[in-house]
Structure 1
């Protein structure tokens, strides 16, 4: 069996890294308000605006962009292994070993830091669906389409429940770190298993796109990227606007069926919007080949796992009762501002790491665990 070495930083493609860097901003905006004790604690106008932006741009769209890019990375990995002479049995073994370690890292993130995790979900999905990494295009596309239905319904069910009874993480925070360590363990397996269905459609489309090197060579796919960006973002805005207006308090759901319709439209078009945002970054990457912001954003994307965990560390430090305990002092708009601040800090740290020659510690660890020392 043949297993080739991982890709060096200098050999990486720009567009996927830029997309991952932007994705971390959307993830921060999606997660940070969950730690506010009272969403109405801040100025009403700012809270309203922040809720609208979060619902329109981040909720069930940031994750979908993340999922698409995760699948794209899997496709890149499989392509590199094949191009360098790696055989499928060794590649499959690598993917499954990587999957087990992602599950372990996700479990540690949930238990030690905050119970908002997608890493283990990605790991479990990869573990189960590793053979699809080399499946025919038709299998990828049909599986993506067929799983989109249960995935959307599961997301919509969560959204409808949130409409009826909005809650925040603050209600479930334990008073001590010891209690926090054990609080999430009982529910973690079920939540992880149920969440896998949500990531399958975007992940498989990401693998399909990677086979065509759509983000690796965006200049060869300008027409496709433009169509996906324009049509995808238009569909996403149209489908997600009603839920955003609802979140902002601009109108009230007249019936249960209307609530379901709004939730389904919001969550279904989140998949479209997540992919469209990645396509938009691909277009930007064609022209943004240099510049300080481009370089810093790419550096952040190259260390996306590290800074995803970095966000979790800061959420714990800032909001939990046994640390700074700010959850009772901030509202929706304030936590959204904190999210932007955390992302900007991540951007600066990632650029500093680039200049200093430091790779992301989480990426280094995952590579060593997956490939072994090289």
Structure 2
């Protein structure tokens, strides 16, 4: 068995400085996740100014739904490629790397399970863990296998998410939106039990949703596209322009329908376009951030530095968002679910992201990596 698989990434020098683009992308990604998640915690979307609520619904569907997840998954796959390259650079063979990946997958599954049961059932971390346990061998697959796996799995993923979008829209039109307040219990133990049942029912099936992004992320990491964006400017420009154009065109109809601007019962085609171009849009945003990193170069201002610090601690602050939302909206905490409309809750989501930037930069200043990043690294050794 070769020390380094033939399809693995070009190993970086251990002394090389940490790349800016992946961290910036992860920091920005957390804003999209906040926009996607915050509105599901409220009962009455129409509270407050109608025009602002309409814009808020449009913004959520256009800029976040089925796009934040795609960007997150792509960056996760990219991070796996970085992790494997770093271990090979230190002299580890494939057997050691595979064991490391599976240990990390197991502990991601545990962390995600605790997140989904103790906090909110909007978890992707356990899905990553389960996918990594299953897919670890694909890290040494040929490029063609990665690309075909991504393309083939994209078809059922698009169909499943489109079906969820159509169902959610129909429920909202019928006056029964699929939001978390309908699942909220008056006490914490009952809430945990319900979350446990929800997680057990959906966790195995959602692995399919992350396969396309993980595999294309691993492929991109092999070429160090985000690590060395200055070497791939032409490719990044093409991806940004073409994929963002697709995302705008494909996501606009469903966003207009969800905002109530366009009235139609024929939602399947817009939902399919919305889902598929959410995948391309997530990749395009990562490419756009990489181009921004090229332009920034080595002159990192305070905003860039703080946003990159947030990206380095993305697991911690992904979980931090859930802690804040539970504290604000659940009946056994501040119980604000009935008191906030769409526009206000999106403003809250943005505020949580801004606070996260400040806290992450503070951690950077004192040399703290992030509690969950530290825990995952130690547990995965």
TM-score, normalised by the number of residues in structure 1:
0.95
Q: Which residue is 2:293 aligned to?
A: 285
Alignment check: 8 A CA contact 2:115 2:319 kept: yes
Pick from 261, 271, 293: which aligns with 2:279? 271
Q: Which residue is 2:78 aligned to?
A: 72
Matched, 1:245 2:256: yes
Pick from 198, 202, 206: which aligns with 1:195? 206
What is the 5 A alignment of 1:1-374? 11-165=17-171, 166-254=177-265, 258-288=266-296, 289=298, 290-371=300-381
Structure 1 unaligned segments of length 5 or more: list them.
none
CA distance in 2, matches of 1:349, 1:184: 29
Q: Deviations over 1:286-344 (max 9, x none)?
A: 12231001000000000000000000100100000000011110011110000000000
Q: 1:321 to 1:215 in 2, by over 3 A?
A: same
Root-mean-square deviation over aligned CA pairs: 1.6
Q: CA deviation at 1:367?
A: 0.1
**Paired residue secondary structure (1:37):** coil
Q: Which contiguous aligned blocks of 4+ residues in structure 1 show a shift greater than 6 angstroms?
A: 7-10
Q: CA deviation at 1:346?
A: 0.1
Q: CA deviation at 1:200?
A: 0.4
Q: CA deviation at 1:8?
A: 9.1
Q: CA deviation at 1:188?
A: 1.1
Q: CA deviation at 1:12?
A: 2.1
Q: CA deviation at 1:229?
A: 0.3
Stretch moving more, 189-198 or 101-110: 189-198
Structure 2 unaligned segments of length 5 or more: list them.
4-12, 172-176
Number of equivalenced pairs:
365
CA distance in 1, matches of 2:322, 2:279: 24
**Paired residue secondary structure (2:134):** helix
Q: CA deviation at 1:82?
A: 1.5
Alignment check: 8 A CA contact 2:14 2:86 kept: no
Q: Deviations over 1:206-251 (max 9, x none)?
A: 0000000000000000000000001110000000000010111011
Q: Which residue is 2:8 aligned to?
A: none
Q: 1:156 to 1:9 in 2, by over 3 A?
A: farther
Q: CA deviation at 1:9?
A: 11
